[in-house]
Amino acid sequence: MTLKVEPIKPAIGAVVHLDRSQITDAAIAKQCMELVDKHGVIVFPKLGLTDEEQIAFTEKLGARVNFTTSAPGGDKGGLYTISLDPKLNSEPEYVLGTFFYHMDGLAMEGIPPPKASVLACRRTAPKGGQTEFASTYAAYEALSAEDKAEFENLRVVHSVVAGVREVADAVDIEPRKRARKAERPLVWTHKCGRKSLLIGYTADSVVGMSKAEGRALLIRLLEWAGQPAFSYRHYWSVGDLVVWDNCGALHRVIPYATDSGRMMNRTSVAGVEMLA
């Protein structure tokens, strides 16, 4: 059985029509991951999965990784609750960092960053709360030949501190997290041969460049990747589920109020390719 797919933009996004009864079907899950590779972001409108179903579906998509045990909010049976409400997320100040483009897990050394992130909407905000995605495959592919050659061997240091630097005065980072950083290639050549940029607010510096020169380059690349042709804004409805290629698409949320009630559940599919 072939899923009905409606592309959103040539460079990013597709709506996929899936029935809840299909989420445990291995062949369907394989198709979904192929669609993630092809479109970067896939949207299942109003799929309405329970927590248990989201975990089961994630486990069909690949090996489920749970790095939330060491992330703010802790582990609630494998789901990471994204909320600014301190009753739902014990360190909501970290969630403020999601207002800025990033890829999940890039600052975690020793493990490959998640292959895919899975986000389900439980409660929307009355204002804001939409999620924007930007394809860094498209951003890379559209670079000039000179830029591609110049960036090919650059390496970037990602850190937890950099990920929240825009809201640093609102975040008290414990020393263990303050020390967390990882060096990643700027251009990642995936096993399939495609290349994406590994960028985002966790990117703190470029190895071999001054702080100013490195950040100027990283910010310029973020602005480039965020252009309308490469990006998609998702307006959530309760029950929507979105899966995206975490190392090929940046994501950020449009700011929403602490008391907005917005609540999302995230799960992650483990990365299978170790970054050099």
- To the nearest whole angstrom, how small is the minimum distance from the Cβ of residue 191 to Fe ion? 23
Residue nearest to Fe ion (CB): 104
- To the nearest whole angstrom, how small is the minimum distance from the Cβ of residue 147 to Fe ion? 27
User: Looking only at residues 78 through 117 of this chain, which bind Fe ion when binding is defined by CB under 5 A?
Assistant: 104
Give the list of residues 6+ apart from residue 232 with CB closer than 8 angstroms, or none: 8, 9, 12, 13, 41, 132, 133, 134
Q: Let me know how long the chain is.
A: 276
| Nearest to Fe ion of 91, 141 (CB atom) | 91
Give the list of residues 6+ apart from residue 137 with CB closer than 8 angstroms, or none: 11, 40, 194, 195, 196, 245, 248, 249
- To the nearest whole angstrom, how small is the minimum distance from the Cβ of residue 97 to Fe ion? 8
| Nearest to Fe ion of 104, 240 (CB atom) | 104
Which amino acid appears at position 89 of this protein?
Answer: N
Task: Count residues near Fe ion (CB under 5 A).
Answer: 1
| Nearest to Fe ion of 28, 156 (CB atom) | 156
Is residue 96 within 8 Å of residue 170, measured between CB atoms?
A: yes
**Residue 240 lies near Fe ion (rule: CB under 5 A):** no
| Nearest to Fe ion of 104, 204 (CB atom) | 104
- To the nearest whole angstrom, how small is the minimum distance from the Cβ of residue 107 to Fe ion? 11
| Nearest to Fe ion of 22, 78 (CB atom) | 78
User: Looking only at residues 14 through 73 of this chain, which bind Fe ion when binding is defined by CB under 5 A?
Assistant: none
- To the nearest whole angstrom, how small is the minimum distance from the Cβ of residue 98 to Fe ion? 5
Where does this chain bind Fe ion (CB under 5 A)? 104
